[in-house]
A and B are shown apart, each in its own frame.
Chain A
Amino acid sequence: MSTLAYTMSDTSTMLRRQLKHMIRYPSLSIMLIGMPVVILLLFTYVFGGTLGDGLGGTTGGREAYLAYVTPGILLMTISGVMQGTAIGVATDMTQGIIDRFRTMSIARVSVLTGHVIGAVIQTFLAMALVLGVAIALGYRPEADALDWLGLVGVVAVITLGLTWLTVALGMSAKSVEEASNTPMFLMLLPFLGSAFVPTDSMPTVMQYFADYQPFTPFIEVVRSLLTGTAVDTTDLALAGAWSLALGLLGYVIAKKKFNKS
């Protein structure tokens, strides 16, 4: 077998290990998927009536708000899965088996790649579930086949970027507790962006931050695709650039940490 074939084989072995972990220990996954669902219900049924009127659309009200908030909640779902990933990575690093992997002649990065691909799969499953709940509440996406395809691609790129960053956070944490806290900002950023209210309703300084932080372009691209409207090229470029930058940063840090410690 060639080096590439070995790397592929080791990565698939590690991915299968991750998937088994998710199935054997589902409580974490359930909790992480439950959180965005609760926020979706809260914002639709508690705040939705009032917030929907403030959107300035023709209809307003709860229904309009559900349509507005769903893309933001979908991005929050990624944040939730990331938290689980950071915990998973940190837990793994505290176990003796990682030292065993390190003393074996395997493609080293496969240990981390297993986590990353596992997280991407988990994200897609979680997002499909949350989207299902939104549809049950009355949300109606207007995307055509091409939009859905684009959505899958965009979500995959965003998730890859965020996951590598999260793996680096998990590797850098000194304990599992710390690892469960450090990705918290990923949960907060949607609030400081366009997930729940349009950014032009915010004060100037706040709006400036909100428009350029990673989650606003992520949310806007997903929102455009789901509503079947044209994607803003600036948002698309920003979303791509952020994903790439965060992913690369995370990859470099994670790899360095794995080889060192």
Chain B
Amino acid sequence: MNTQKPLAISARNLTKSYGDNDVLKGIDIAVPEGSVFSLLGPNGAGKTTTVNILTTLIPSNGGDAFVGGNHVKNDADEVRKIIGVTGQFAAVDGLLTGRENLHLMGNLHHLGKKETRRRSEELLERFDLVDAAGRAPATYSGGMKRRLDLAMCLMGDPRIIFLDEPTTGLDPRSRRTVWEIVRELVKGGTTVFLTTQYLEEADELADRIAVLNDGKIVAEGTPAELKRTISGGHISLRLHRADQVESAAQILSASGFDADQLTVQVPSDGSVSSLRNVLDTLDREGVEVDEMSIHTPDLDDVFLALTGGDKTAA
């Protein structure tokens, strides 16, 4: 398709192993410009390794990766010119003040004295760090440190941003602040590559999600597509009479029933029309229902099903 946007990040068959430990077993990634891509996976899935390869920190063992059209191994310096990285652990200088940390970034980006100062103050303002700017980050809360970290990453005005678990360890309010910042960046046309272990986060922010488990991508798509791939949505009914369970299950083409518990599960996308359909059918057949609940699939179902977890708890 010629209407497709060019890719900001692409990778083919990336592999990485440490000794006998295969961390990445051949993954493909394609992120169009200006979109948010989320790599979702449990601890140890290989998320950070992927980020480290794409940000030129470590070389892959096999495969090729391009960021902004530049090969991460052969044109590493070109890649570094256009990216901003916020790692899992706050990458701030603990002995410099918040403002000095930003100035350090400005100097290393060769912005010039005036522009460095201007942009530092603007970012301090934007990330609500003006009052803390004269103090060392050692005195900051987790959320403040993360905001400073993000501000430092933005000093160079990067086109592509890598956020490795940007909200791990943050309280819910700080997490929302980080989300707001990400949304604003995307509005400005920045491409965001985000790793997270929180489904809610990927669902909130990402245009496309890839689920990484044990070094392989086990599913990829939009949040909606992923939710469709799993048969998690159903209407759960508890009938009044045991002798009606089996026949009701047949009429409603149920996905499962339990005569002892008087329960019937009917596949459903949770829409009003499907609900009305079920109720109409039950009325027509004179089936008495004691209790009914709707279960719509969320990314938890997808995640747990794909990463081999137990989804009965959901």
* Residue contact B93 to A17, C-beta cutoff 8 Å: yes
What are the interface flags for A88-104 relative to B under an 8 Å C-beta threshold, 1 for contact and 0 otherwise?
Answer: 00000001110111111
Which A residues, 4 to 26, have Cβ-Cβ distances below 8 Å to chain B?
Answer: 6, 9-10, 13, 17, 20-21, 24-25
* Residue contact A21 to B91, C-beta cutoff 8 Å: no
Which B residues, 214 to 236, have Cβ-Cβ distances below 8 Å to chain A?
Answer: none
The residue in chain B whose Cβ has the minimal distance to the Cβ of A12 is: B107
C-alpha spacing A96/B202, complex, angstroms: 24
* Residue contact A99 to B91, C-beta cutoff 8 Å: yes
* Residue contact B110 to A97, C-beta cutoff 8 Å: no
C-alpha spacing A9/B96, complex, angstroms: 19
Known A9-B110, A10-B108; judge A103-B80 contact (CB<8 A).
yes
Which B residues, 80 to 120, have Cβ-Cβ distances below 8 Å to chain A?
Answer: 80-81, 83, 85, 87, 89-96, 100, 104, 107-110
Is A109 positioned at the interface, with any CB of B under 8 Å from its CB? no
What are the interface flags for B114-148 relative to A under an 8 Å C-beta threshold, 1 for contact and 0 otherwise?
Answer: 00000000000000000000001000000000000
C-alpha spacing A99/B52, complex, angstroms: 9
User: Which residues of A are found within 8 Å of B39, using beta-carbon distances?
Assistant: none
* Residue contact A96 to B80, C-beta cutoff 8 Å: no
User: Which residues of B are found within 8 Å of A246, using beta-carbon distances?
Assistant: none
User: Which residues of B are found within 8 Å of A24, using beta-carbon distances?
Assistant: 95-96, 136
* Residue contact B95 to A106, C-beta cutoff 8 Å: no
Is B297 positioned at the interface, with any CB of A under 8 Å from its CB? no
* Residue contact B92 to A102, C-beta cutoff 8 Å: no
Is A1 positioned at the interface, with any CB of B under 8 Å from its CB? yes
Is A204 positioned at the interface, with any CB of B under 8 Å from its CB? no
Most buried by B among A97, A100, A101, A106: A100
User: Which residues of A are found within 8 Å of B109, using beta-carbon distances?
Assistant: 104
* Residue contact B81 to A105, C-beta cutoff 8 Å: yes
User: Which residues of A are found within 8 Å of B90, using beta-carbon distances?
Assistant: 96
C-alpha spacing A25/B94, complex, angstroms: 11
C-alpha spacing A95/B108, complex, angstroms: 18
C-alpha spacing A106/B108, complex, angstroms: 7
> Which of B57, B96, B136, B152 is within 8 Å of A102, CB to CB?
B57
By size class, the interface of chain B is 20 to 34
Is B55 positioned at the interface, with any CB of A under 8 Å from its CB? yes
* Residue contact B57 to A6, C-beta cutoff 8 Å: no
* Residue contact A103 to B57, C-beta cutoff 8 Å: yes
* Residue contact B108 to A13, C-beta cutoff 8 Å: yes
User: Which residues of B are found within 8 Å of A9, using beta-carbon distances?
Assistant: 107, 110
* Residue contact A100 to B100, C-beta cutoff 8 Å: no
User: Which residues of B are found within 8 Å of A17, using beta-carbon distances?
Assistant: 93, 96, 104
User: Which residues of B are found within 8 Å of A103, using beta-carbon distances?
Assistant: 55-57, 80, 83, 85
How near does chain A come to B285, taking the closest CB pair, in angstroms? 64
The residue in chain A whose Cβ has the minimal distance to the Cβ of B109 is: A104
> Which of B80, B85, B96, B153 is within 8 Å of A105, CB to CB?
B80
The residue in chain A whose Cβ has the minimal distance to the Cβ of B94 is: A95
User: Which residues of A are found within 8 Å of B94, using beta-carbon distances?
Assistant: 95
C-alpha spacing A225/B57, complex, angstroms: 48
Which A residues, 75 to 98, have Cβ-Cβ distances below 8 Å to chain B?
Answer: 95-97
User: Which residues of B are found within 8 Å of A13, using beta-carbon distances?
Assistant: 104, 107-108
* Residue contact B87 to A96, C-beta cutoff 8 Å: yes
* Residue contact A104 to B80, C-beta cutoff 8 Å: yes
Is B41 positioned at the interface, with any CB of A under 8 Å from its CB? no
How near does chain B come to A85, taking the closest CB pair, in angstroms? 16
Can you offer 24 A-B residue contacts whose CB atoms are under 8 A?
A6-B110, A9-B107, A13-B104, A17-B93, A17-B96, A17-B104, A21-B95, A24-B95, A24-B96, A25-B95, A95-B93, A96-B87, A96-B92, A97-B91, A99-B91, A100-B85, A100-B91, A102-B56, A102-B57, A103-B55, A103-B80, A104-B108, A104-B109, A105-B78
Chain B interface (Cβ < 8 Å from any Cβ of A): 55-57, 77-78, 80-81, 83, 85, 87, 89-96, 100, 104, 107-110, 136, 152-153, 156
* A-B CB proximity, top 3 nearest: A96-B91, A100-B91, A105-B80
Task: Identify 11 new A-B residue pairs, CB closer than 8 A, beyond the known A17-B93, A99-B91, A100-B87.
Answer: A9-B107, A9-B110, A17-B96, A95-B91, A95-B94, A96-B89, A96-B91, A99-B87, A100-B153, A102-B57, A103-B80
